[in-house]
C-alpha cells in the first residue's frame, strides 16, 4: 500500500513539475518579445502605467539572467505563492485574483460532479438489463454525454432564463447586491448557481449512467454472478454485488474524467458569466493577460492533482483488494 | 461453451460473416452510422452545392429561418445554414485529424509498452500517467493562447498530441493479454521481428477494439475543439460549429432571442458525437456476443 | 431412485439453427451414487450439467423429464426452478477460481447467500465443514483473492453443499488444478458423499482415469447421446461400445514406456450437432460400423444389470 501511494505521489509530483516547466518555457521560447506584445495588446492608455508595467515584467522575466537561473527563480517565486501581477487588473497579484474566483468554481463543480456521479451510477445500474428502462435511459444518456457543455448551458439559459424568466442568466449574484452573509444574498447566490449547476450536472450524468449500465451488464455476466444465480440467489443480491464491483472502475473513471469535467465547468461559467476560473480565463485571453492565464493553469493542475489523490485514497478505502496488499488498481 | 465451439468450427471468414450478420441487424450501429453518413455527406458536398463562402454577408441581419435562409441569418446578415455546413466540415476535420493523431500515438505507445514490458513499459507508463492527469483543456489553453492558433490543422494537431493517454493505457492492457498467447509465441519463436509481430499478429487480433478506440478519440477531439473555439481560442480562419456558438454567445443571441443562431451548431456537434458513440456501442455488441440483447 | 432423467432434449439456439447438444438421453442416479460423466468436448456433458440446474439464455428445453426424489424438476422454467436450486440441486462450477464475489469477505458472502435462500446460517456446521476439507476458519474473514487456487476450490465445494442438496453437479472442477490437488479434491468429494452432505453426485470430466478413482458408475456420452453406462470397473475393464473401448484404450497405462508405443487418439471428429446424421452418430469413426448403423439409431439397451450400451454390435 505504501508502494501504491508512493507511486501515485511520484506521478503527481512529476506531473506538477512538468506543468510548471511548460508554463515557464512557453513564453520564453516563443518567437517575439512577450513583454512588448503583452503591453501592446493590453488596453492600457496612460504612458506612466505602461512604463511601470514594462519595468516590472522585464524584471520578472529576468531575461538578462542565465536560463537556469531564470528557471530556478521561477520556482522560487512560485513556492512563495507569487504568480506575478495581473495585467488586466494591474497591479493586483494574480494569486489574489485567482483566489477570488476559486470558491465559485468549487461551489459549482464539487456538487455537480459528486451528485452526477452518484445519481448517474444509480440510474445506470437500475437500467441495465431492464428492457423498458434501458431503452429510455440509454438514448437520453448518449444525447446528454455527446452534448458540448456550453450548448446545454446556452439552451438552459435561453429556455429557463430568457424565455421563462425563472432564473437569472448572468453573474454569480445580482449587480445590485454587495456580497454579505444575509439570507437574501445567499438566496440570490443560489438562484444564480442553479442553472450552471444544472447544465454541468446533466451533461456529466449521461456519461456516468451509460458507463455504469455497461459495467453492470459486464458484471452480471461474470462468474460470481452466474454462480449465485445457479445457487438460486435472488436478483436483488446479485445486482447488489454487481453494483459494488462495478462502482470500482467508476471511481477510477471519475479520476480520468476530471480533466473533461474541469473543461465543462470552465465553458459553463463562460456562458453564465459566472465569476469563477472560466470567466477569469476568458478575461485573461481577451486582455492578453498571460500571467493570469498561466497562474490559472497552474491552479487548475494543482486542483486536479489534489482531487486525483483524494480519489486514490477513496479507492483504497473502498476496494478491499488494494487494502489486502494484493493486486490493486493499476497505478 | 465448449459445446458450441466444436459444433460450429470458427474460421476467420465465419467470424467475419457472423460479425457482418449482426452488424446488419444492429439497430444502434445502423442508426449511428446512418446519421454520421448523412452529416458527413452534408459536410463534404454541401459547400460545393451552396457555392458561397462561409462568412459571406447575404442579406438582412437577424432573419428567422425561412425557405431562403434555412437556419436564418445572424446579426451580421450571414447565412447560418451556410456557416453550419462549413462548420460541420471543420468538425469532421478536427475529429478525424485529432482523433487520428491521438490514435496513432496511443497505439504506438500502447503496443510498445504492452509488448516490450520491463523498463520500456515502466517509462512509457509513467509518461502516459503524467499526461493523463494533466487536464487537457488547460494545457491547450496555454499553448493556443501563446501560439495564436490560425488553422484547423494546428488545432487538431495539439488536440491529438494531448488526448492519447487513455487510449494508450487501454491498448497496452489488451496487448499485454495477447502477448503471451500461443500464436504470438509461435511468431516470436520463428524469429519474426517485434514490429512485424505487433503489426501482423497482435494488431489484427484487436482490430475491432482499435477501431472503437479511434471512434471515441474522434468524438473526444470534436468536443475539446468546440470548447476551445467557445473560449475564443479556435482557428482564426474559417468557421467551425464551436466558433458559431462563441459568436452567438458573444453577440447576445440569447438576449436577442435569435435561437436559430445557437441551436444548430450545438445540435450538429451533439448529433455527430452522439451518433459516433451510439455506433460504437453497436459495434461493441457486434464484436462482443455477451453484450448482445437476447 | 434419486435422479431419473427420461429422454431429455436440450438444444442451443444459434444463428444457423438449433444445435442439438443433448438429444434424447435417459439415465438414473441412485441415492449415494457418484456418476462419472465422460466424453470429449462437445458431447453434451456440460449441457447436461447446466440443464439440470440452470440453463443459460440460449439453451432451450425441448423435451423429456427430470425427476428428483419423486418430484419433476421444471428445468425449462427459470423462475419455477429457483426453489430447487441450492436446496435440492447444487453446482460446483468449472470456474471455482472466480466464483466468489471478489469484494466481499467470504464469510459475509456465505451468510448473505444462505440468508437470501431463507436459511439461517449455522456457524458451527460451517466451521465443521471447513475442518472437513482442512480449511482454516480464518478464511471466512478473508477476500477470495487472498486464497490459493486449491483453497478457493475447496471453499466453493463447502458453499455449494452447505444446504445438503440431493444432487450435486461437479462440472470439470479439476481441470484448472494440478494433479496432486486434483486427487485431494476428488477425495473430498467422496468424503462429502460419505458424510451425507450430498445424496448423489454427477461428476463431469473429460478425464476418465480421474473419474474411475471416485465414481461408482461411469456414463460415456457421444454427440449428445448416451454411448455406454456401467459400473466404473466394468467400463474400464470391459467396455462394450466401440467409442468407449477406443476411449479407454487411448489412456496411458502405468509402467508402459510411450517412447516405444505410441499413444493413439481416435481418428476423425464428432459430427455437427446442427444437423446430425441419421443412424448411429459414431459410425463414421467406428471400426465396426456396418449397414444397419446408417439406417437405424441404436437404442440404449441394458445388456446386463446396470450396464447400458447403445450399439448394434454390443
Give me the residues paired with residue C60 across strands. Answer: C11
Touching check for C121 and chain A: CB below 8 Å?
A: no
Domains of chain A, residue spans:
2-79, 102-330
What integer pLDDT is reported at residue C255 of this predicted model? 53
Chain C adjacent subunits, 3+ CB pairs under 8 A:
A, B
pLDDT single digits (tens) B85-138:
999 999 999 999 999 999 999 999 999 998 888 888 889 988 898 888 888 888
Minimal Cβ distance to B21: which of C15, C58, C270: C15
- Continuous segment of H or E residues that includes residue B249: helix B241-250
Whether B52 is covered by a domain: the verdict is no
| Residue C125 belongs to a domain | no
Top pLDDT among C146 and B252 is at: C146
pTM: 0.85
Take residue A48 and report the three cell numbers written for it: 506612466
Q: What is the CATH number of the domain that holds C171?
A: 3.40.50.300
Kindly state the cell numbers that stand for C146. Answer: 487472498
- Structural domain that includes position B232: 97-294
Residue B13: pLDDT band by 50, 70, 90 thresholds? Answer: low
Q: Report whether pLDDT(B208) > 90.
A: no
* Neighbouring-strand partners of residue C27: C5
- Chain B neighbours among A 57-116 (CB < 8 Å)? none
Q: Does B23 touch chain C (CB under 8 A)?
A: no
**Range of the structural domain that residue C268 is part of:** 3-88+165-178+198-309
Q: Give B 190-229 residues with CB within 8 A of chain C.
A: none
CB pairs under 8 A between A and C: 76
In a domain, B46, yes or no: no
Q: Is residue C130 part of a domain?
A: no
- The distance in angstroms from the start CA to the end CA of chain A is 11
Residue A328: pLDDT over 70 = no
Structural domains in chain C (count): 1
At A67 the pLDDT is 78
* Distance (Å, whole) CA A274 – CA A278: 8
Query: Bridge partners of C12?
Result: C19, C59
The strand pair at C225-231 and C301-304 is best described as: unpaired
Output the nine-digit C-alpha cell for B40: 458527413
Q: Which of C15, C42, C46 sits opposite B7 (nearest CB)?
A: C42
Q: Are A175 and B270 in contact (CB under 8 A)?
A: no
pLDDT in tens, A122-169: 999 998 878 888 888 888 999 999 999 999 999 999 988 888 888 888
Phi, psi of C249 (to 5 degrees): -65, -25
Compute the distance between CA of residue C102 and CA of residue C87 in angstroms, rounded to an integer. 24
pLDDT tens digits for C238-277?
A: 888 888 888 888 776 655 555 555 556 677 777 888 888 8
Band of residue B294 on the pLDDT scale cut at 50, 70, 90: very low
Q: Assign B64 a pLDDT band (cuts: 50, 70, 90).
A: confident
In a domain? residue C94: no
A270·B231 Cβ contact <8 A: yes
Q: What is the pLDDT of residues C122-145, one digit of tens each?
A: 899 999 999 988 899 999 999 998
Give the model's pLDDT for residue C137: 92
Centre a 10 Å sphere on the Cβ of residue B263 and count the other Cβ atoms it contains. 20
Superfamily of domain A102-330: MetI-like (1.10.3720.10)
Strands C167-171 and C200-204: parallel
What is the ipTM score, two decimals? 0.90
Which one has a higher pLDDT value, C153 or A64? C153
Residue C119 lies inside a defined structural domain of this protein: no
Per the domain annotation, does C216 fall within a domain? yes
**Residues on chain B touching A152 (C-beta within 8 angstroms):** 266
Does any domain span residue C277?
A: yes
Residue C261: is it exposed, middle or buried by C-beta count within 10 angstroms (0-12/13-18/19+)?
A: exposed
Say how many Å lie between the first and final Cα of chain C, rounded.
26
- How many domains would you assign to chain B? 1
Alpha-carbon gap: C276 to the closest alpha carbon of chain B (Å): 10
Q: Residues in chain C with pLDDT < 70?
A: 1, 252-265
Facing A224 at nearest CB: one of C100, C117, C160: C100
Residue B237 is part of a domain; what is its CATH number?
1.10.3720.10
| Contacts of C237 by beta carbon, 8 Å cutoff, 6+ apart | none
Contact C19 B21 (CB under 8 A): no
pLDDT at position B110: 92
Amino acid at each position: 500500500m505504501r508502494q501504491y501511494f508512493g507511486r501515485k505521489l511520484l506521478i503527481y509530483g512529476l506531473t506538477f513539475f512538468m506543468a510548471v516547466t511548460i508554463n515557464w518555457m512557453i513564453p520564453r521560447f516563443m518567437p517575439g518579445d512577450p513583454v512588448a506584445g503583452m503591453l501592446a495588446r493590453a488596453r492600457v492608455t496612460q504612458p506612466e502605467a505602461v512604463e511601470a508595467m514594462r519595468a516590472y515584467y522585464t524584471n520578472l522575466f529576468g531575461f538578462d539572467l542565465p536560463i537556469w537561473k531564470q528557471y530556478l527563480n521561477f520556482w522560487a517565486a512560485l513556492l512563495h505563492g507569487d504568480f506575478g501581477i495581473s495585467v488586466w487588473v494591474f497591479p493586483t497579484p494574480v494569486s489574489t485574483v485567482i483566489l477570488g474566483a476559486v470558491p465559485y468554481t468549487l461551489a459549482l463543480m464539487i456538487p455537480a460532479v459528486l451528485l452526477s456521479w452518484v445519481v448517474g451510477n444509480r440510474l445506470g445500474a437500475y437500467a441495465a438489463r431492464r428492457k423498458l428502462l434501458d431503452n429510455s435511459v440509454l438514448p437520453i444518456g448518449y444525447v446528454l454525454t455527446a452534448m458540448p457543455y456550453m450548448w446545454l448551458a446556452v439552451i438552459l439559459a435561453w429556455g429557463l432564463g430568457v424565455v421563462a424568466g425563472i432564473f437569472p442568466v448572468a453573474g454569480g449574484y445580482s449587480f445590485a447586491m454587495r456580497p454579505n452573509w444575509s439570507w437574501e444574498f445567499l438566496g440570490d447566490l443560489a438562484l444564480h448557481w442553479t442553472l450552471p449547476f444544472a447544465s454541468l450536472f446533466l451533461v456529466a450524468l449521461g456519461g456516468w449512467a451509460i458507463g455504469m449500465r455497461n459495467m453492470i451488464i459486464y458484471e452480471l455476466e461474470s462468474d460470481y454472478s452466474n454462480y449465485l444465480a445457479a445457487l438460486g440467489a435472488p436478483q436483488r443480491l446479485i445486482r447488489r454485488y454487481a453494483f459494488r464491483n462495478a462502482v470500482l472502475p467508476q471511481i477510477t473513471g471519475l479520476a480520468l474524467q476530471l480533466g473533461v469535467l474541469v473543461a465543462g465547468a470552465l465553458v459553463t461559467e463562460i456562458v453564465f458569466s459566472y465569476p469563477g476560473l472560466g470567466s477569469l480565463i476568458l478575461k485573461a485571453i481577451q486582455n492578453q493577460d498571460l500571467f493570469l492565464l498561466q497562474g490559472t493553469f497552474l491552479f487548475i493542475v494543482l486542483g486536479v492533482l489534489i482531487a486525483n489523490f483524494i480519489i486514490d485514497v477513496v479507492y483504497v478505502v473502498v476496494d478491499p483488494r488494494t487494502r489486502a496488499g494484493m493486486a490493486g488498481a493499476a497505478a | 461453451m465448449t459445446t458450441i465451439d466444436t459444433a460450429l468450427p470458427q474460421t476467420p471468414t465465419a467470424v467475419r460473416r457472423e460479425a457482418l450478420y449482426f452488424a446488419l441487424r444492429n439497430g444502434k450501429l445502423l442508426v449511428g452510422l446512418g446519421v454520421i453518413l448523412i452529416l458527413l455527406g452534408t459536410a463534404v458536398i454541401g459547400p460545393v452545392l451552396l457555392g458561397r463562402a462561409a462568412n459571406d454577408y447575404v442579406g438582412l441581419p437577424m432573419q428567422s429561418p425561412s425557405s431562403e435562409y434555412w437556419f436564418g441569418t445572424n446579426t451580421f446578415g450571414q447565412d447560418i445554414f451556410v456557416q453550419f455546413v462549413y462548420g460541420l466540415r471543420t468538425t469532421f476535420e478536427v475529429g478525424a485529424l485529432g482523433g487520428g493523431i491521438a490514435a496513432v500515438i496511443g497505439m504506438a505507445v500502447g503496443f510498445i509498452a504492452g509488448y516490450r514490458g520491463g523498463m520500456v513499459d515502466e517509462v512509457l507508463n509513467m509518461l502516459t500517467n503524467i499526461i493523463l492527469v494533466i487536464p487537457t483543456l488547460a494545457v491547450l489553453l496555454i499553448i493556443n493562447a501563446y501560439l495564436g492558433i490560425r488553422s484547423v490543422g494546428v488545432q487538431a494537431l495539439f488536440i491529438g498530441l494531448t488526448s492519447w493517454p487513455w487510449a494508450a493505457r487501454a491498448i497496452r492492457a489488451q496487448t499485454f493479454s495477447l502477448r503471451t498467447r500461443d500464436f504470438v509465441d509461435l511468431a516470436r519463436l520463428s524469429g519474426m521481428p517485434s514490429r512485424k509481430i505487433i503489426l501482423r499478429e497482435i494488431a489484427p487480433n484487436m482490430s475491432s477494439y482499435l477501431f472503437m478506440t479511434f471512434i471515441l478519440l474522434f468524438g473526444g477531439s470534436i468536443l475539446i475543439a468546440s470548447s476551445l473555439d467557445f473560449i475564443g481560442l479556435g482557428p482564426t480562419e474559417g468557421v467551425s460549429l464551436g466558433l458559431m456558438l462563441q459568436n452567438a454567445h458573444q453577440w447576445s443571441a440569447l438576449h436577442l432571442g435569435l435561437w436559430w443562431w445557437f441551436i444548430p451548431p450545438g445540435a450538429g456537434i451533439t448529433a455527430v458525437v452522439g451518433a459516433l458513440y451510439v455506433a460504437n456501442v453497436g459495434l461493441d455488441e457486434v464484436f462482443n456476443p455477451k453484450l448482445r440483447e437476447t | 431412485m434419486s435422479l431419473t432423467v427420461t429422454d431429455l432434449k436440450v438444444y442451443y439456439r444459434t444463428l444457423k439453427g438449433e444445435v442439438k447438444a443433448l438429444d434424447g438421453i435417459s439415465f438414473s442416479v441412485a441415492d449415494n451414487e457418484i456418476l462419472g460423466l465422460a466424453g470429449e468436448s462437445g458431447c453434451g456433458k456440460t449441457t447436461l450439467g447446466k440443464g439440470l440446474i440452470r440453463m443459460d439464455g440460449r439453451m432451450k428445453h425441448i423435451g423429456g423429464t427430470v425427476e428428483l426424489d419423486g418430484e419433476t424438476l421444471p428445468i425449462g422454467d427459470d423462475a419455477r426452478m429457483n426453489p430447487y436450486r441450492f436446496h435440492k440441486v447444487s453446482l460446483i462450477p468449472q470456474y471455482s477460481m472466480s466464483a466468489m464475489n471478489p469484494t466481499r469477505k467470504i464469510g459475509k458472502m456465505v451468510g448473505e447467500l444462505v440468508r437470501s435462500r431463507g436459511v439461517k446460517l449455522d456457524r458451527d456446521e460451517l466451521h465443521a465443514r471447513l475442518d472437513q476439507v482442512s480449511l482454516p476458519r480464518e478464511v471466512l474473514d478473508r477476500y477470495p483473492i487472498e486464497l490459493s487456487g486449491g483453497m478457493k476450490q475447496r471453499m466453493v465445494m463447502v458453499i455449494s453443499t452447505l444446504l445438503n442438496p440431493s444432487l450435486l453437479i461437479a462440472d470439470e472442477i479439476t481441470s484448472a488444478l494440478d494433479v496432486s490437488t486434483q486427487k485431494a479434491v476428488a477425495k473430498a468429494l467422496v468424503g462429502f458423499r460419505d458424510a451425507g452432505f450430498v445424496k448423489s453426485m454427477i461428476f463431469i470430466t473429460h478425464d476418465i482415469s480421474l473419474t474411475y478413482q471416485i465414481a461408482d458408475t461411469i456414463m460415456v456420452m457421444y454427440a449428445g447421446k448416451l454411448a455406454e453406462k456401467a459400473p466404473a470397473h466394468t467400463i474400464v475393464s470391459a467396455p462394450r461400445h466401440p467409442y468407449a473401448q477406443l476411449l479407454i484404450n487411448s489412456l496411458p497405462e502405468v509402467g508402459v514406456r510411450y517412447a516405444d508405443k505410441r499413444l493413439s487418439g481416435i481418428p476423425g471428429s464428432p459430427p455437427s450437432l446442427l444437423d446430425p446424421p441419421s443412424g448411429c452418430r459414431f459410425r463414421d469413426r467406428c471400426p465396426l460400423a456396418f449397414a444397419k448403423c446408417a439406417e437405424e439409431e441404436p437404442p440404449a439397451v441394458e445388456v446386463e444389470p446396470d450396464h447400458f450400451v447403445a450399439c448394434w454390435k454390443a
